[in-house]
Structure 1
Amino acid sequence: MTSPVSRRDLLLAGGTIVAASAVGASTTAAATPNLRTHHGGRSGGGVVVAWNQTLLRILRTAGAQPATVHPTRSFAILHAAIHHAVTSSGRSYLLAHPAGAAVAAAAQAAHDVLVALYPAQAASLDRQLAADLATVEQRHAREAGIGVGRLAARRLLDLRRNDGSSATPSPLPAGTEPGQYRPAPPGFLPAVFTHWAHVTPFVVDRVDRFLPEAYPELSSRRYAAATNEVKRLGQDTSTSRTGDQTEQAHFWAAPIWNYWNEITQTVVLAEGKDLAETARIFAHLNLALADAVIAFYDAKYHYRVWRPITAIRLAGDDTNPATEADPAWNSLGTTPPDPAYPGAHSVISQTSATVLTAEFGRGHRLAVTSEVLPGVTRHFATFQAVADEAGLSRIYAGVHTRLDHYAGRKLGHDLARATLSRTTTG
């Protein structure tokens, strides 16, 4: 297991991290400039963004990601290694060659992590590394950076080697009582990531301290209101849901951590962040997201709350006179195969918004695109507005209630603040 001291060293990698100042430029979360021309100067973060894009590409390749390993683990290891390479071992030499050795270190660390995690992608990763190293003209700087990058990648991979992520997920028995989770239609797939709550966190010491408050009684007015809201707005044939709400449900249907990494890519490039700043920001974001996923699976499998489609179809069993069963009810979106409470989109989005607001300030005009709804761009004035819409979209998709959203939002905020506290103070 990874010790707290090792995790702290992994994060701080050579000194106290200082949050970035607030900015306010308008950005688009899918912009992809020619990163090969942006390794030096104020756009030195381009090398980090390029490797982040490579991981996104790998994750969008069918079969590339092991089904029982959560993708946020890969993002966290990748960016912790890059950050460690840029700011720790050998930093005095790297700082003497900021446009050379540091770029080589970042690229080598990223390459070695991704080759270790995705060996089938080695050929394309080798080509990307060669192109990055070719931009470092001074041989001594290039060789120094390569050595530092290799060491950083090896250290991070060693730290996470026995973190519990390779465990075989245990089958989850289907619930039999009202409110208890059971596989949901139409696929009735078995629960996923039942082992993930036992994965060693990256930053926080324990995730169970972020456990949401107990789920309300099924007989309560809160429960009835939340269930009836999703019944009305989340049905596949709903006439109460607006056109914009339907668009939101479809827009945010892809893996939510992908959106936030895309948003971060665009913001750091628009702001001209240098290599060290970009490495720090991506490390902050993705280490927090990795711990957030561990925390929300801990909560999901602690409470094991049924999904809306089950709750609505079986409402006759919930002892609440304010709910009414509809055995033929179907959701607009496909229900994920895990318990409802708290909502993952809400956890991930609030974690991201909290981290990015700390880095860039509250006000930031954003234009966000979706990998599942091409040609549509949605506009926001703050990171928090993005998070709120992403979380609430799951009600319109019919896969979560407002109870799940509120619990997820609180978990994400509290966990993000805890990780920021650890990574900015040591």
Structure 2
Amino acid sequence: MYLPITKRTRIEKLLLAVLLISLLFSCHKVEIPKPPLPQDESATVVYDWYKFIALVQRPANPQPAVIQNMRNFGFIGVGLYEAVRNGNIGAESLAGSLYQMPAMPQTDTWSQYLWSESANAALASMFKLFLVLTDANKASIDSMEMANYTRFSASTPEDVLQRSQAFGRSIATAIYDWSLTDGFNLSSVGYVPPPVTPGSWVPTPLAYASPVGPFLADSRPFLEYSLTDLAPPLPFPFSEDTSSLFYKAVKEVYDIGIHLTDEQKATANWWADAGGPNVGIPAPHHVLSIITWVQEDQHANLWKAAEVYAKTGIALKDGGINTFRSKYHYNLIRPITYVRRNIDTAWLSYLPTPPYPEYTSGLVGFYAPYIQALIRAYGDIPVNDNAYNWRGLPARKFTSLSALLNEAAVSRIYGGLHYRFTQEISIRFGKDLGNEISNIRLTPLNHLHP
């Protein structure tokens, strides 16, 4: 069968047009624009900032409030992660994992960023927003930020640096604004202690100070898990009977205290971080020194380092909340009160007893979860603690992160502040929180930079 010539011609022309279009597109493929690929960046700028801010806060007088500063650096760690996470393919915002965290500012998908500059700007801004600083401190932070910016400008276009700087600062502002709604409160104004029993905490010698942090558990945590987390009950009941397990636990603290060796005193002092400006280390800079040492030793890049600073920061804030919830729930008597009532009326603990209940341990409450986060990130690796090298003291070397945690815990027994069972339970309690934090998956394994 033959088509009429005119109809056949039209079909032939249509087929020819299709063929020509096909040939045209085979020679000139349509290129769909792609976002710039992130480049592997060093975490050096971050390490430099954490070391620098320790120098800024060390001579402060008065020293920063311990629990307040822990909380602040928790937010700073989260902000650091948000400032750089877009540079790691597939990385997710912490806004999807943290309790009531709002959406964070977003980058321009089709634009280039230098993530080191985003971190530089974010950290400089957050330090000025969160920390109590003098005008001279703020000027030194500005100088540090500008020195980094100038260094980056030698190899990065100005428009990229300005875009990166603006993004880092926008993250800092968003994190600070979010922090204002967390209800953080260390005051005891309005606190009504429970009825006093023989096993109750009461203000302790020598200062007999009012309680600190009874309402801390009411502040908003980073994890929903931490809204209700509570340490397990005491392993045995309070008793003043000399044959009881409780009496024996107190007697151990007393016996150690009256026979302290020089080595035990040095251990207690190392972890006390006390002594005032340029003598001790304001919290959490001992903690941050260890975290930074581990990350430098493991050659973490910018994205890995930022994620670990964020997770250990979450541990510092929520560790305090969960610990103080437990302290005021159990309201347990301190060793110094029990000993002076039942064993030795003149006894004093080697370290000053802080003004809040004994169980669980404050030091371990902060240390155990962040150490567990480090272990989950890098393994139970050997670690050097060189936090006091600026005073000429040699680093304390540990065969593992767990060994470091165990020494920090026993230091409070040497100091006369805690019973051994408190320290052992506090380690397990804190590690549970550390595991909850470590289970937050932010980066697909096949996308994580080494």
The TM-score with structure 2 as length reference comes to 0.75
**After superposition, where does 1:208-357 map in structure 2 within 5 Å?**
208-214=228-234, 216-219=236-239, 221-234=244-257, 238-239=258-259, 241-254=260-273, 257-315=284-342, 325-357=343-375
Question: CA contact under 8 A between 2:130 and 2:176: conserved in structure 1?
Answer: no
Deviations 1:198-237 (A, max 9, x none): 1100133434223332463122733122101101112xxx
Matches for 1:197-212 after TM superposition, within 5 Å? 197-212=217-232
Contact 1:341 1:407 in 2 (8 A): no
CA shift for structure 1 position 307: 1.1
Aligned AA (2:253): V
CA distance in 2, matches of 1:182, 1:222: 22
1:359 maps to 2:377: yes
Query: 1:151 — aligned with what?
Result: 170
| 433, 437, 441: which one aligns with 1:415 | 433
Within the alignment, does 1:395 sit opposite 2:418 as a pair? no
Cα distance in 2 between the residues matched to 1:207 and 1:405: 23
Whole-angstrom CA distance in 1 between matches of 2:410 and 2:66: 27
Q: Answer whether contact 2:384 2:395 (CA < 8 A) is retained.
A: no
Superposed displacement of residue 353, structure 1: 1.9
Contact 2:64 2:283 in 1 (8 A): no
Letter of the 2:271 partner, please give it: W
1:93 offset after TM fit, Å?
Answer: 6.0
Which ranges of 4 or more aligned residues in structure 1 deviate by more than 6 Å?
A: none
In structure 1, what is the Cα distance between the partners aligned to 2:207 and 2:186? 25
52-61 or 177-186, larger mean C-alpha shift: 52-61
Name structure 2 gaps, 5 residues minimum: 1-38, 87-105, 274-281, 445-450
Q: Does the 8 Å contact 1:346/1:408 carry over to 2?
A: yes
Unaligned runs of 5+ in 1: 1-39, 316-324
Offset at residue 122 of structure 1 (A): 2.1
Shift of 1:281: 1.2
Alignment-derived partner of residue 184 in structure 1: 204
Matched, 1:90 2:88: no
Q: Which residue of 1 aligns with 2:122?
A: 109
The one-letter amino acid of 2:52's match is T
TM-score when normalising by structure 1: 0.79
Report the CA distance shift for 1:149/1:65 in structure 2 as closer, same or farther (over 3 A).
farther
- Shift of residue 54, structure 1, vs aligned partner: 3.4
Name the CA shift for 1:127/1:369 in 2 (closer, same or farther; >3 Å): closer
% identical equivalent positions: 24
Tell me how far 1:141 sits from its aligned partner.
1.5
* Match in the other structure for 2:29: none
Alpha-carbon distance, 1:62 to partner: 2.9
Match of 2:214 among 194, 208, 232: 194
From the CA coordinates, give the structure whose radius of gyration is larger.
2
Query: Is this contact kept in 1: 2:186–2:212, CA < 8 A?
Result: no
CA distance in 2, matches of 1:83, 1:123: 25
SS state at 1:285 partner = helix
Q: CA deviation at 1:415?
A: 0.7
